[in-house]
């Protein structure tokens, strides 16, 4: 290459490997990137973390998230939302949201909306109820998502009782 590679040249390669399900190759490329003194940026890590949540599992994704922070790269809300969207298991997504404060930011409406929609879709009403106890008192949008999902399940009385 006529110029030294940087995060902007590595990130598309990482995305292609991730989209192909080649997470192991992606991790090798990330290690190569770091060995060459090229620091990944938040976009690079977000692409990788999203793929890991989709393909490799929560614990491996959290290890990369820890590595990201150790290298001085701060995750942002796009990072967490991408991980939440890609998560196969809602329990994993919920655990991610519980850990967000330790990574320097609080979950926002987008994060909670993603989780609540997934929980409602998978009909995990006990988890929905736990989430709403913490969130719905202060967020009408989230409350409406839950109410709508409960009503679509034919549980209109439950929606009314749960929120009024």
Confidence at residue 54, expressed as pLDDT on a 0 to 100 scale: 76
Mean pLDDT of 45-61: 80
pLDDT in the model for residue 41: 92
Over residues 1-12, the pLDDT tens digits come to 577 788 888 999
Once rounded to an integer, what is the mean pLDDT over residues 149-159? 73
- Structural fold of domain 1-106: 1.25.40
Read off the tokens for 54. Answer: 């989709």
164 has pLDDT over 50: no
Is the pLDDT at 163 greater than 60? The verdict is no
What per-residue confidence (pLDDT) applies to 136? Answer: 60
Confidence of residue 13 (pLDDT cuts 50, 70, 90): very high
What residue ranges of the chain are covered by domains with CATH 1.25.40.10? Answer: 1-106
Interatomic CA distance for residues 89 and 132, integer angstroms: 19
Give pairs for 113-117: CB < 8 Å, separation 24+.
113/141, 113/142, 113/145, 114/81, 114/84, 114/85, 115/84, 115/90, 116/142, 116/145, 116/146, 116/149, 117/145, 117/149
């Amino acid at each position: 290459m006529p110029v030294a590679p940087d995060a902007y040249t590595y990130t598309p390669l990482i995305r292609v490997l991730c989209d192909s399900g080649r997470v192991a190759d992606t991790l090798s490329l990330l290690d190569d990137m770091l060995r060459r003194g090229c620091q990944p940026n938040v976009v690079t890590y977000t692409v990788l973390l999203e793929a890991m949540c989709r393909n490799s599992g929560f614990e491996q994704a959290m290890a990369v998230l820890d590595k990201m922070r150790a290298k001085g790269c701060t995750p942002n809300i796009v990072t967490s939302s991408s991980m939440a969207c890609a998560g196969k298991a809602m329990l994993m997504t919920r655990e991610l949201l519980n850990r967000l404060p330790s990574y320097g930011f609080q979950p926002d409406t987008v994060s909670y909306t993603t989780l609540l929609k997934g929980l409602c879709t998978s009909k995990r009403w006990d988890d929905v109820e736990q989430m709403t106890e913490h969130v719905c008192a202060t967020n009408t949008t989230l409350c409406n998502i839950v109410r709508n999902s409960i009503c679509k399940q034919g549980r209109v009385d439950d929606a009314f009782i749960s929120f009024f």
